[in-house]
Structures are given as C-alpha cells and as structure tokens.
Amino acid sequence: MNTFRAFILNDDDKIMSSEILDVKSDAEAIESARMFASENDLEIWQGQRRVARMKKGGEVQLVSQRTNT
C-alpha cells in the first residue's frame, strides 16, 4: 500500500481539508478521491509528488505519473 493525500480546495484554490488514501497505485488514488470532488476541486499528492488535479465533478488532469509500481 502507498499513502496518498487528497487536498480538497475552496474557490480560491486554498486547502479546506484533506483525506488520506491508502491505495496501491496512482489510478486507485484517483478513483478513491472522486467521492470528494462532487462539490470542490482537489489535488492528489503522494509525498512531495503531485499526482493529479481533479475538477469539481471528476474531470482529471494528470500531473505526474509513476513509471514503476
């Protein structure tokens, strides 16, 4: 398992809250974070690596993808 964090953002792109995601991969982190993107944008991070940004409603912009798992 890997630990990711979903940072839920307000309308000014400031962090409102965060959720810990213990999953196996970037793809699983993105899927797990979808439930938090119904009303706000969010960013998914693994340590200092930003994995993705998710728009309100679930549209994903990949930022960094791990090449090995």
pTM: 0.88
List phi, psi (to 5°) of 64. Answer: -140, 135
Per-residue pLDDT of the chain (69 residues; tens, 9 = 90+): 999 999 999 999 999 999 999 999 999 999 999 999 999 999 999 999 999 999 998 899 988 766 554
User: What is the predicted pLDDT for the residue at 66?
Assistant: 65
State both tokens at 27: 């793809």
The strand pairing partners of 1, in sequence order, are none
pLDDT reported for residue 69: 47
**Cα–Cα distance for residue pair 64/5, rounded to 1 Å:** 14
